[in-house]
A and B are shown apart, each in its own frame.
Chain A
Amino acid sequence: MSADAATHDDHTPSMWDWRRWVLSTNHKDIGTMYLVFAIFAGIIGGGLSGLIRWELMEPGLQVFTGEDTGWGALFGNAHNYNVVTTMHALIMIFFMVMPAMIGGFGNWFVPLMIGAPDMAFPRMNNISFWLLPASFALALMSMFVPGAGADLGFGGGWVLYPPLSTSGHNGPAMDLLILSLHIAGVSSILGAINFITTIFNMRAPGMTIHKMPLFVWSVLVTVFLLLLSLPVLAGALTMLLTDRNFGTAFFAPEGGGDPVMYQHLFWFFGHPEVYILILPGFGIVSHIVSTFSRKPIFGYLGMAYAMVAIGFIGFIVWAHHMYTVGMPVDLKAYFVAATMVIAVPTGIKIFSWIATMWGGSIEFRTPMMWAIGFIFLFTVGGVTGVVLANAGVDQALHDTYYVVAHFHYVLSLGAVFAIFAGWYYWFEKIFGVKYNSFLARAQFFFFFIGANVIFFPQHFLGLNGMPRRYVDYPDAFEFWNAVSSWGYVIMLVGMVLFFAVLIDAMIRRRKADANPWGEGATTLEWTLSSPPPFHQFSELPKIK
């Protein structure tokens, strides 16, 4: 295989050859497919959240009325509202953020940054990717088959708690969802194995572990979290499946099981998962901040080991999601303390980014604006996280919009801003053409304002006791819900601008530079042309 590759070194197959994509073993092509997939899933996931904000714009039922509109009940009833929130979360997590960060940027830049010719197992890489569309198709199908009685889809929330996910949803929708997540899990675990092997074994000479770029570090920690947490989810999902279909009673009290045990298993996966969603973003942002401050990152080792620490601690804090299940006080005290400890390495990262910018010659290029937006929004989300970490406070705030605001600040603002930062940082490298930075900055402003207008008021709603996962609410909550929904409209304009940037770049095709960012951009991908040759580093680079 390698001999063959050598003879075809610079021969890039045509864009329009289907075999290039379907049979791809090239990490850059696979990375591109992941990015396209993530954009596609993001459109669907984002559309679903539009239905949520449309419904919640006013009290009463607007969208999920269950009334026949002439085309039938177009969006269904209150059950379907819950289906929509459930699927919004699952799609954004498993089919948008993870594919974009790990599959997309990870595949593209981990080999480039460590000076490797490709991933360790290129064919497995192909399988990892192509499992995802299959998994996504199953998830989408589940929305259109019976879930609970005659109602279509699974509406029990992305956490899939029993008994709603067992006796509460007797239809095949939940089974399809289980299968979908199983496949997505296999895809991610194969990907994780691939990354671990690549990073351990395929670094160029001189690229010691303590010289690895921080993005590679972040992916390494992320895939370890995936490797150790996803199998637990797979186990829990399998128990759900057998409880549903084969008469076991893992989570059924009448058979000696315990539904709360599901929550333990789920969050043992779930908390590391939320860090899986953000860690690669930490890596991306570190590079951008350093590039546009023209300084090496402040406290490189501290940054790397802060991520390792976050990974470790992430496994021992899961029950902060379950303070209200009735835990003994001592156990709560432990989980409060452990959770607060995570804020320490997280704080180290934030202060190191700021210290990197301090005294640097900062250039506010497009990716830098996204990165600074990320730091600000992520910090807000981190602070509300520490508030929620207090079991006593959480008793009141659990399952309110305050929690929704918290995790959207760290995810749909934090993680998503990191993705866009990376997108605009590496756009020229990936596609070989320049983009219109005016449009891209306009997108940033609409996103930044829109996202804050959506989610900041949700803190107020939550503090006033508005619960999550309800299709309707008392009139008292109307004002801030309306504001929040208008925020969605602002963000939607940003989304239109995102596609405008793409179309503009596609039409104008201005040839990209190998390194558009100047001396601040020091990692190996900038030593290659834009786009890089189809096969790179047939001569391994030497790292001093």
Chain B
Amino acid sequence: MIRMPLNKNARVAAFSALAAAVMVGAAYAAVPLYDLFCRVTGYGGTTQVAVGEAGAILDREVTVYFDANTNRNLPWSFEPVQRSITVRVGETALAYYTATNNSSQPVTGVATYNVAPYKAATYFSKLECFCFTEQTLQPGESIEMPVLFFVDPLIDEERRMDDVASITLSYTFFESEDGGSASSDAAP
């Protein structure tokens, strides 16, 4: 009958299989890339981490509102101490949140955060934040947790940011399971 060009076929098949394997790899590569992308672009309201103060302090004022959410699996109450602070752009400000462990066991929590409007995220810099680390609370313990932040003066040079008069900083506290998944406590 006909002669099957086997090696030629094997070559195309191998290239195709390689392409599929690369795409699986790309899916996993998306994990660190996505994280990096969020940090660099402020995508989804991911705020910046600053090492030093802003330098310049402008006359423009921005009101920063504080928002707190608690995952329903975490037996804590978690609230901002102040609803809002009005700061001058570039000025370093300190805000507090309180958290109380209402359960009878020590619980470790970790907070995720973002700001709204998202576009302001690249200009919202935190010097210090309780969200950088995990927090462990003993049964019944209450703590005050600081956030040290400033609004980057560069915000004033961007026309798109002219309408930003207020920024909402939002946290959600989850129970930390040391990288554990949320489903591991719910065995079938």
Q: Which of A's residues lie within 8 Å of B, judged by CB?
A: 2-3, 5-6, 117, 120-121, 146, 163, 166-167, 170-172, 189, 192-194, 196-197, 200-201, 227-232, 234-236, 239, 243-250, 252-256, 258, 260-261, 264-265, 326-329, 331, 535, 538, 540
Contact = CB atoms under 8 A, between A and B. Distances in A.
Contacts of B45: 326
B179 A231 contact: no
Contact of A121 (B9, B31, B175, B186): B9
Contact of A261 (B30, B175, B181): B30
A167 B12 contact: no
A246 B180 CA distance: 8
A254 B174 CA distance: 5
A229 B3 CA distance: 33
A227 B16 contact: yes
A248 B175 CA distance: 15
B161 interface: no
A170 B183 contact: yes
Given A234-B24, A236-B27, A254 B13 contact: no
A253 B111 CA distance: 9
Interface string B161-188: 0000000000010111101111110111
18 contacts: A3-B1, A166-B183, A167-B181, A167-B183, A196-B12, A197-B16, A228-B19, A228-B23, A230-B23, A231-B26, A231-B27, A232-B24, A236-B27, A239-B28, A248-B181, A254-B182, A264-B30, A540-B2
B39 to A, nearest CB: 12
Nearest to B183: A167
A207 B43 CA distance: 49
A258 to B, nearest CB: 7
Contacts of B177: 247, 254-255
Nearest to A325: B44
A192 B16 contact: yes
B36 interface: no
A264 B35 CA distance: 13
A230 B182 contact: no
Interface of B: 1-5, 8-9, 12-13, 16-17, 19-24, 26-28, 30-31, 34-35, 38, 43-45, 71, 110, 112, 118-119, 172, 174-177, 179-184, 186-188
B34 A255 contact: no
A137 to B, nearest CB: 20
A200 B15 CA distance: 12
Contacts of B187: 170
Contact of A120 (B9, B112, B172, B180): B9
Contacts of A230: 20, 23
A120 B10 CA distance: 9
A331 B119 CA distance: 11
A171 B188 CA distance: 5
A189 B44 contact: no
B13 A197 contact: yes
A255 B179 contact: yes
Given A6-B1, A235-B27, A250-B31, A328 B119 contact: yes
Contacts of A265: 27, 30
B188 A247 contact: no
A24 to B, nearest CB: 18
Nearest to B17: A193
A224 to B, nearest CB: 9
A171 B186 CA distance: 9
A228 B187 CA distance: 35
A201 B12 contact: yes
A115 to B, nearest CB: 11
A2 B4 contact: yes
B21 to A, nearest CB: 7
A39 to B, nearest CB: 29
Contacts of A193: 12-13, 16-17, 20
Contact of A167 (B34, B38, B182): B182
B180 A247 contact: yes
Given A248-B179, A254-B110, A146 B188 contact: yes
A144 B1 CA distance: 50
Nearest to B74: A254
Contact of B28 (A117, A167, A192, A235): A235
Return the 7 tightest CB-CB contacts between A and B, nearest first: A235-B27, A254-B174, A167-B182, A231-B23, A170-B186, A231-B24, A193-B16
Contacts of B110: 254
A246 B181 CA distance: 8
B20 A231 contact: yes
Given A264-B34, A326-B118, A166 B181 contact: yes
B1 to A, nearest CB: 4
A232 B27 contact: yes
A247 B179 CA distance: 7
A193 B22 CA distance: 14
A254 B182 CA distance: 8
A261 B27 CA distance: 10
A341 to B, nearest CB: 23
A422 B164 CA distance: 57
B36 to A, nearest CB: 12
B181 A234 contact: no
A334 to B, nearest CB: 13
Given A230-B20, A231-B22, A245-B181, 13 more contacts: A5-B1, A120-B13, A166-B181, A166-B183, A167-B182, A193-B13, A228-B23, A231-B26, A247-B179, A249-B179, A249-B181, A250-B31, A327-B118
Interface centre among A197, A245, A248, A327 (most CB of B within 10 A): A197
Contacts of B175: 254
Contacts of A255: 176-177, 179-181
Nearest to A258: B34
A196 B24 CA distance: 19
Contact of A252 (B2, B26, B181, B186): B181
A25 to B, nearest CB: 13
